[in-house]
Amino acid sequence: MRYVDVFHGDADGLCALHQLRMAEPLPAGAQAQLVTGLKREIDLLARVTGGPDCEITVLDVSLDRNRTGLERVLREGASVRYFDHHFAGPIPDHPRLQAVIDLAPDVCASILIDRRIGGRHRAWALVGAFGDNLGAPAHALAASLRLDQAQIETLRTLGEALNYNAYGRSAADVMIAPPELYRVLHRYADAFEFAATSSIKELVERRRSDVATALALAPISVNAHGAVFRLPDAPWSRRVIGTFANALASRYPQRAHAVMHENRDGTLTVSVRAPVATPGGADRLCRQFDTGGGRAAAAGIERLAESELQAFLRAFHAARWTV
């Protein structure tokens, strides 16, 4: 049997797979092919070849964006388990597909896996949830573990650092490429032990530096309900776009935010956060544009043409942010 683990290379995808493989390890001697990538690399099933001997586990990537690949590997005879919380569209009805899709704004893939395995590795679910900017659900999970505030802060910092590491144009922009980061992370059953490693401490410091640079910028468009920031084409801006959007959302919970950075081809990559107080509508906004998608609270557009910028600003400020 061939095993393929397909997962988003951010905190949520990493922690979801880590929990699952600790609770449900592969048979002795078996190894899974790891298929992952940076934050904007979503069409991951296109890289997978199916077959009757193939068992595929997919975590934290949009079914809608992977529909063609999913239907193909099912035709090729593979069995697929699919855990996700992004917009999915119609879910294929197939005997070899097990789809666990929950679009609630307070759910992420790490929480879905936490439910599946009965909370056996819950500290890692907190890390994934914090990385996805789901502070309230993360604190609810922390209460069940009776963690003190310093321990909660350690897991929050770890989740934010892992999520920050997923942003970039290529592996050259990030400190640790997602496949290697997973292999390192998977050596640690204890999240606190992993958080204390020198590589994570270095990642945390780089994130803080990039956020400080971004916070010095003024928005290009702002009103009482939302603010839009534009970052230059630079490695730091490509790394910080999602983290900066999350930081703004936490600072101004009544306000929506969009953070964009310039690409070398003249397009813009956009990261959108619905207001924390009304965390819905980000996916609807981004799906109005080609290459847009995501989930209710947080979504993005991979390539927005400069000619579409004014249309995006109008749509952003006119958006209805609902739970």
Each residue's pLDDT tens digit, 294-311: 999 999 999 999 999 999
**Is residue 323 domain-resident?**
no
Each residue's pLDDT tens digit, 194-220: 999 999 999 999 999 999 999 999 999
**292 three-state secondary structure:** strand
From 167, 202, 237, the end of a domain falls on 202
One domain for residues 79 and 104: yes
CATH number of residue 314's parent domain? 3.10.310.30
- Per the structure, the count of domains in the chain is 2
Q: Report the predicted TM-score, pTM, of the whole model to 2 decimal places.
A: 0.87
One domain for residues 128 and 32: yes
One domain for residues 132 and 176: yes
**Is residue 104 domain-resident?**
yes
Each residue's pLDDT tens digit, 163-177: 999 998 888 889 999
**243 three-state secondary structure:** helix
How far apart, in Å, are the Cα atoms of 88 and each of 3, 193, 296?
23, 35, 12
One domain for residues 69 and 197: yes
Residue 44 is classified by DSSP as G
One domain for residues 187 and 57: yes
One domain for residues 31 and 129: yes
One domain for residues 140 and 235: no
One domain for residues 165 and 243: no
CATH number of residue 167's parent domain? 3.90.1640
Domain region containing 180: 2-202
